Structure 1
């Protein structure tokens, strides 16, 4: 009897044997149809997998190209582009920024792709005027006249057809904080429809939003694009450290909910924790963030140096009174300063008091001398030691350090980028140990960064020690922490806090496009499902068809088994019938 055998060489060999003669034409067609269906499903699954991988690579390539397109001139002839204008009213002056974005991709989990506008020379469209808006505090009716040059500048770049639909945001930070609320409130009403009160307290969060947006940390992981109601995986956001000349800022995401050790700590944290949703739908929580933000006035590099000089002067004069000495009174008896290069002579003036100092170039001792500046001279002062700081998961975190964090590591030490404490500490110590004459000669030979000036060369020893103390003693970053990167630019561009501001302000705009898309194509949403979601359906179909084939073969096997048992009975019946017939014929 002919047999059809299927073998699967796994740990064992399985054989399914069916009689070929027992298959009628209809059964053969059914079996062939099942096999063909399995082949088609496998082909579709493989094809979808290949297309999904290609689409994934295309998305990555598009994001890579977007970094370069952001540096190109903006195509203002493109009617699909939308625009937005942000005015930053600062203490020394005001600036206007023009942004643009293409149509939203209709995915409610994605943010608008907002970029800063660039002119034909590929330069950012920005204009600054002086003085600050605080100059019109006593005459708020002149606020509109003050804003006119900025708004005229922006209007010249935004296409006229887009003027009516272009949002304008006037946000003020330091310039208005110096004024009473009644004064800046009147100025905001005269300046435009959107006031500045929110910007006074929220601009540090805007900076955090802008940095993470440019870094792509608000995008979802590749391969996680699913149906609208399926779970998405958020990328880990980065924290930011920014040390200027006068103040120090820190901002990073903290988990929700946040635990507190006492009611007093919870009360102190209320003004330092910001909760917000960047998503276009308040029902979606994929872009809900809680960010800890804090600013420490007087902890910037330049002000910290002034505080240190005052501390050095007060200590010296107190010691002189006790000992009857005159240290620092003249250049012949200078006070040794471990935070200045060896051999450098300087003078500290405080009112009528003068202190002569000479650099010692001892980086380790300098760090020890700076410790009192972290704790403060009195208990009422807000310092790094007594301010509330939300917990940081140092094993699973990443930070970017800007301004002084970058200058200290890169301008003369050339160690910008990934921060490695042992390397930085050794380089800073070696720099401080060099004599002032050697350092100035290297500066004249242009061995340092083009951004480094003589002021940097002079105070690099102090500022590197201060940065180190703030990071490891103030914020308690572990000494083996490897998640800090110092930078001046992000993807070759400077990121302003105004980018984060317009991202937050325009977060609801995609709802219009999503709603219009839903009306225009109410039944085509399944076309946008990715293979990550559909492959379950393909494999389920393959499983069903395979089970059907197995059951069909099992049924044929049983039929064949029944036929084999029926054959001996037929032979027995024939053997009994034939002799009986012979006897009957003989009689």
Structure 2
């Protein structure tokens, strides 16, 4: 056996046999073997890769589901004010009849730029929401605007007493005024706001700037209400369940023509004392006037389009429950007085000759005063006739796709939509009739008719026995008949919802949480805070430890490593094949020399 040169040495993992020359014979790596080796390497890599993906996705999905479940449970628990990672925010709602302060809190953002802040109402040690209301409305100080900060101070003192002092400087404060100030002149509005902007920073350490105190439009209020309900319903969360109701959406303003799938959002109906609002998402293909359309990005990154929404919003001043009753009474007074003058009658001029009002319960009495004159009204409780009388107040036109006051209303996919009704929509169905929740037109009409046709003395007796909602009062009892008819007509005649529509839910709370437009306001106004937290976290991670890399970065890193390993294996196999071919040529020459009796020559080095 000849001496083995160093050039014949190869990795020990290969099995060799001796050639006639004494040099180990390598297996010939054919193309098929190369492919098999590549496939095996790829399979092993993909196996580890799949385990990595499944582990991370399942773990994150499980954590997210568990977190959302725990969040809904802990929403009812007292807020842990000792938690240094908890943040706070304050919204003051300056309405027409009074002002309320809401204190919100949220934990550190989870680091996913697609997710919103987990904002919820703060709860005190008794697990009650941190909310305080004062009366009257801020518009009552229109003639003394220098007292605006004194007026609102009790609300801010209340909020300051619940938020840890160390957190005051970083807690944003928003003072947002609605219809109460919108009815004032611009000079009166500005005088009140200027006093707030000047005095509040002197007495409170909250994060507050001039832009944090303003009179918001009805359109803004509607958008905030829409954001609030959909956030509580979880409609802005990622789709992780096949049972989720999804819609195909073309992102407004996006150059990408492809649509995305996301959770179907709910529409809102809100009837306050002065105005009524409707808001729902509309497709990109629907042409809507700019004054009725809100396009906004709710996400923290303007370049991410997952949270871009296109919402139709319409506000109808004078169509709230109280304003509608006042309009109705003014009409009754003027028309009756005119008829009295023409016919020489005295209808309504005394309790003995009252105006018979179909929109009051049977025998219920009230008075209407105007220009120093008083008119007496007595109820007949005729719900159907009441509806007929108030239908002209809808101000509908004969044109299609219009609603209250002849305002354009985009088509609603009634069979594939969901709406929530708040304020009077809830009070009218629940406070007295005790049928809040899923709305059914036929059942509602029957209950309203029965109530209206009941004698006032019987209704009062039931009220004394506590058969109605705890916050229902004599005013609610007296005007329940009118407001039921008004709500019904606004919904079915004004907004054209069919009588068999079954996807309206009237609500005061969702998941045991009171849904207010103020929640949507703070969500929208703090939407960029997560991006700041993410950037800070990434900055810390870059200088502290590599584990702060996000899943996306690990994902790409793993793919790069996989390709490098696969390429290295293929190159190594090709190198071995070239070496083997050289050895074959050298071995053949050596065998030929032996056969011819020639002396053995030194084999050239293979490496």
Fold shared by both chains (TM-score > 0.5): yes
1:259 to 278, 287, 292: 287
CA distance in 2, matches of 1:455, 1:249: 23
Shift of 1:66: 0.9
Question: Deviation digits for residues 496-517 of structure 1, max 9, x if unmatched?
Answer: 3322222112111111222234
Q: Is the 8 A contact 2:91 2:174 kept in 1?
A: yes
Number of equivalences: 498
The answer for the alignment partner of 2:589 in structure 1 is: none
Match of 1:111 in 2: 116
Q: Following TM superposition, by how much is the alpha carbon of 1:469 offset from its aligned partner in structure 2, in angstroms?
A: 0.6
Higher mean displacement: 105-114 or 176-185: 176-185
Give me the whole-angstrom Cα distance separating, in 2, the residues matched to 1:135 and 1:412: 31
TM (normalized to structure 2)? 0.70
Contact 1:137 1:187 in 2 (8 A): no
Task: Indicate the residue corresponding to 1:180 in structure 2.
Answer: 186
C-alpha separation in 1, matches of 2:476 and 2:372: 27
**1:405-554 equivalences in 2 (<5 Å):** 405-519=425-539, 528=551
Q: Distance in 2 between matches of 1:138 and 1:354?
A: 29
Instruction: Tell me the equivalent position of 2:232.
Output: 214
**Retained in 1: the 8 A contact 2:387–2:489?**
yes
1:143 Cα deviation after fit? 5.7
Aligned with residue 67 of structure 2, among 59, 62, 65:
62
Q: 1:386 to 1:509 in 2, by over 3 A?
A: same
Equivalences for residues 176-575 of structure 1 within 5 A: 176-177=181-182, 178-181=184-187, 182-184=190-192, 186-190=194-198, 191-192=200-201, 193-195=209-211, 198-201=214-217, 202-222=220-240, 233-256=261-284, 258-260=286-288, 266=289, 270-331=290-351, 333-375=353-395, 384-519=404-539, 528=551
The offset of 1:194, in angstroms, is 2.9
2:579: which partner in 1?
Answer: none
TM-superposed CA distance for 1:459, in Å, is 2.4
Post-superposition shift, 1:102?
Answer: 1.0
Would the alpha carbon gap of residues 231 and 80 (structure 1) be closer, same or farther in structure 2, given more than 3 Å must change? farther
Rounded Cα–Cα distance in structure 1 between residues aligned with 2:449 and 2:136: 42
CA distance in 2, matches of 1:432, 1:465: 10
Instruction: Note if contact 1:296-1:383 (Cα within 8 Å) is conserved in structure 2.
Output: no
Mapped partners of 1:218, 1:521: distance in 2 = 28
CA 1:418–1:85: 2 relative to 1, 3 Å:
same
Q: Is the 8 A contact 1:81 1:101 kept in 2?
A: yes
Say if 1:84 and 1:98, in contact at 8 Å, map to a contact too: yes
Deviates more, 1:324-333 or 1:479-488: 324-333
Q: Distance in 2 between matches of 1:221 and 1:478?
A: 31
Deviation for aligned residue 1:417: 0.3
Of 231-240 and 42-51, the range deviating more from structure 2? 42-51
Displacement of 1:483 in angstroms is 1.6
Structure 2 match to 1:558: none
Query: Quick check: 41-50 or 179-188, which moved more?
Result: 41-50
Query: Retained in 1: the 8 A contact 2:432–2:472?
Result: yes
Task: Tell me the SS of whatever aligns to 2:89.
Answer: strand
Shift of 1:474: 0.8
Gaps of 5+ in 1: 1-23, 261-265, 545-587
CA distance in 2, matches of 1:90, 1:221: 37
In the TM superposition, residue 81 of structure 1 has moved relative to its aligned partner by 1.6
**Compared CA separation, residues 53 and 284, structure 1 to 2 (3 A):** closer
Change (3 A) 1:390 1:37: closer
Measure the CA separation in 1 of the matches of 2:142 and 2:460.
46
Using CA pairs below 8 Å that are at least 6 residues apart, which structure has the higher relative contact order? Answer: 1
Shift of 1:526: 8.1
In 2: Cα distance, 1:376 partner to 1:349 partner:
29
**SS of 1:296's equivalent?**
strand
Contact 2:97 2:137 in 1 (8 A): yes
2:496, 2:384 → 1: CA distance? 18
1-structure distance, mates of 2:87, 2:368: 55
- Find 1:164's aligned residue among 169, 172, 177: 169
* SS of corresponding position for 1:73: coil
Q: In structure 1, what is the Cα distance between the partners aligned to 2:241 and 2:541?
A: 25
Q: Which residue of 2 aligns with 1:584?
A: none
- Deviations along 1:299-324, one digit per CA (max 9) or x if unpaired, are 22223223223333444444445555
Contact 2:368–2:375 (8 Å) recurs in 1 = yes
Alignment partner of 2:80 out of 75, 79, 89: 75
Distance in 2, matches of 1:65 and 1:395, equals 33
> 2 CA distance for matches of 1:179 and 1:197?
17
Task: Check whether the contact 2:179–2:274 (CA below 8 A) recurs between aligned residues.
Answer: no
CA contact (8 A) 2:92 2:102 kept: yes
- Deviation at residue 418 of structure 1 after TM alignment: 0.7
Sort the Cα spacing of 1:395 and 1:194 in 2 relative to 1 into closer, same or farther, 3 A. Answer: farther
Query: 1:288 & 1:198 partners in 2: Cα distance?
Result: 25
Name whichever of 162-171 and 348-357 sits farther off: 348-357
Moved more, 450-459 or 135-144: 135-144
Aligned to 2:576: none
Task: Give the distance between the partners of 2:193 and 2:432, measured in 1 at CA.
Answer: 45
Q: Which residue of 1 aligns with 2:92?
A: 87
CA distance in 1, matches of 2:279, 2:374: 39
Indicate if the aligned counterparts of 2:403 and 2:495 stay in contact, CA closer than 8 A. no
Q: Aligned residue for 1:15?
A: none
